[in-house]
Amino acid sequence: MTSDGSALAESNLGYPGWRVLAAAVIGLAFSPGPMIFGTFGLFAPHFVSEHGWSRGAIMLALTFFNVAGVLVSPLTGSLLDRHGVRRLLFPAMIALALGFPALAYLAGSLPLLYAVTFAWGATTVATQSISYSKLITGWFVQHRGLAIGIAAAGLGVGYVVMPLIAGALLSALDWRVALSALALLVMTVPFFCNLALARPAAVTATLASTTAVAGLTLAEARRTREFALMAAAILLASVALTGIVPHISLLALDHGLSTGQAAAVASAYGLSTIAGRVLVGWLADHFPVPRVAIAFFACSALGFVLAVSVGAHAGMGLLVMVALTIGLGFGAESDVIALFISRYFGQRAFAAIYGYLLAAFLVGSSIGPALFGFVRDASGGYGAVMTIATGLMAAACCALALLPVTKREPVPA
């Protein structure tokens, strides 16, 4: 980006990009994944007792959230490229916060619940990794993979911390008040992020003079074979990797573990995703991205095979191993979207391209949890769906293997 001796060198701790990275870590910890999907299960029993709805009907609300994201993410990406991140991020964070009291006080019927979550999903896409990845790839070249991995680790931290916060709020407050308290928690983040994401004028001028925005347009990227292979791999992997998330603790319970042990297995999965995100980012700075992604997806496939092969009463150690190996792949998937785009298509239409690949991920995440649940109910166990997941991960690896191996992006002098 600049010469080694420059104050803007990425290896310099005074480089402003590290401040942006810190904001991204915190922003992703407070993003819809941890804040909504990570806590929704804790509030579901209160909807059951309050309204008498089934758990399946309540969880369908998350599908409406994802479907809205599928429809809106391509447009959001184009708007991010056109208007910049800050103009969309702040309003989207307000929408994320407002969704919690809306869920508590407006969702008095199932149609209203689905309408609230659909609107919530449509208005909060800009609070997800699409925005932060665009920022980070604009600030980092030499350490881009590592920076993306560190930022994505914020998601893992959020998945560990947010359920604990929600649980503490529920133990002290009425469930509706607890949901509203989560809204107040979200609203502490936009101010910090907007301060941290403001580029000093001198820095902006220097970057503009040293970094050319090159790459393909959205239309050009969508016509390439690489785009189709990436979308296919992301869709296939997301069905398996997001499908297991709400079922990992249930798998442990089915094997005779206690509730506390099942929670420990789920925590191992979360910690593994954090490690996967950082490791993939670091490795992508040194090795071709497709090979790195294949290695981590293969680890997940191995985890699914292990889940099939363990006995009906497998011990906690084996189930923790299952969680750790599968979690590595889930952590990798959030990184590789941004890495693929920056390596193969450049920065010119980064967010617009990301929006379409994010839509592929959201389609898979809409299918996965329900697929795992229905197949488990039909077969009486998780063996069949774990076999399906193994095949999906193998197919994703095959798609990635067809990508041309590109050299690491050159660093401008």
Question: CA 237, CA 332: separation in Å to the nearest integer?
Answer: 10
Query: What phi and psi, each to the nearest 5 degrees, are found at residue 215?
Result: 135, -175
Beta-strand ranges (E) seen in 297-393 are none
Q: Are residues 95 and 51 in the same domain?
A: yes
Question: CA 43, CA 254: separation in Å to the nearest integer?
Answer: 23
Instruction: Tell me the pLDDT tens digit for each residue of 120-157.
Output: 999 999 999 999 999 888 888 888 889 999 998 998 88
Dihedral Cα 232, 234, 235, 238, nearest 10 deg = 150
Asked, for residue 105, whether it belongs to a domain, the answer is yes
Asked, for residue 1, whether it belongs to a domain, the answer is no
Question: CA 236, CA 393: separation in Å to the nearest integer?
Answer: 7
Whether the per-residue pLDDT at 199 is higher than 80: the answer is no
Q: Are residues 384 and 309 in the same domain?
A: yes
Partners of 317 in the β-ladder: none
Q: What is the secondary structure of 74-142 as a DSSP string?
A: HHHHHHHHHH-HHHHHHHHHHHHHHHHHHHHHT--SHHHHHHHHHHHHHH-GGGSHHHHHHHHHHH-ST
Domain that holds residue 232: 215-406
Per-residue CA distances from 148 to 81, 103, 133, 318 (Å): 18, 32, 7, 31
Q: Are residues 225 and 203 in the same domain?
A: no
Instruction: Name every residue whose Cβ is closer than 8 Å to that of residue 121 and which is 6 or more positions away in sequence.
Output: 32, 64, 65, 66, 67, 68, 69, 72
Residue where a domain terminates, one of 185, 211, 237 = 211
Place of tokens 């189930």: 319
Instruction: Tell me the pLDDT tens digit for each residue of 44-57.
Output: 888 888 888 887 78
Q: Are residues 248 and 381 in the same domain?
A: yes
Question: CA 54, CA 36: separation in Å to the nearest integer?
Answer: 19
Instruction: Name every residue whose Cβ is closer than 8 Å to that of residue 266 and which is 6 or more positions away in sequence.
Output: 248, 249, 252, 323
In terms of Cβ atoms closer than 10 Å to its own Cβ (0-12, 13-18, 19+), residue 396 is buried
Instruction: Name every residue whose Cβ is closer than 8 Å to that of residue 412 and which is 6 or more positions away in sequence.
Output: 1, 141, 210, 211, 212
Instruction: Tell me the pLDDT tens digit for each residue of 151-177.
Output: 989 988 888 888 888 888 988 999 999
Whether the per-residue pLDDT at 185 is higher than 50: the answer is yes
Q: Are residues 285 and 183 in the same domain?
A: no
Asked, for residue 4, whether it belongs to a domain, the answer is no
Instruction: Name every residue whose Cβ is closer than 8 Å to that of residue 312 and which is 6 or more positions away in sequence.
Output: 255, 381
Give residue 166's pLDDT. Answer: 86
Give residue 313's pLDDT. Answer: 61
Per-residue CA distances from 103 to 52, 122, 237, 317 (Å): 16, 15, 30, 38
- Going by C-alpha positions, the residue among 82, 89, 69 that lies closest to residue 23 is 89
In the chain, % of residues over pLDDT 90? 41
Q: Are residues 220 and 157 in the same domain?
A: no
Structural contact between residues 178 and 170, judged by C-beta atoms closer than 8 angstroms:
yes
Structural contact between residues 280 and 294, judged by C-beta atoms closer than 8 angstroms:
no
Q: Are residues 27 and 105 in the same domain?
A: yes
Instruction: Tell me the pLDDT tens digit for each residue of 86-99.
Output: 889 989 999 999 99
Give the pTM.
0.82
Give residue 347's pLDDT. Answer: 83
Give residue 220's pLDDT. Answer: 92
CATH number of the domain encompassing residue 277: 1.20.1250.20
Give residue 317's pLDDT. Answer: 86
Q: Are residues 162 and 248 in the same domain?
A: no
**How many other β-carbons are positioned within 10 Å of the β-carbon of residue 212?**
11
Give residue 94's pLDDT. Answer: 92
Q: Are residues 351 and 224 in the same domain?
A: yes
Q: What is the domain count for the chain? A: 2
Residue where a domain terminates, one of 211, 231, 261 = 211
Instruction: Tell me the pLDDT tens digit for each residue of 313-365.
Output: 667 888 999 999 999 998 888 788 989 998 899 888 888 999 999 999 989 98
Instruction: Name every residue whose Cβ is closer than 8 Å to that of residue 205 and which is 6 or more positions away in sequence.
Output: none
Whether the per-residue pLDDT at 202 is higher than 70: the answer is no
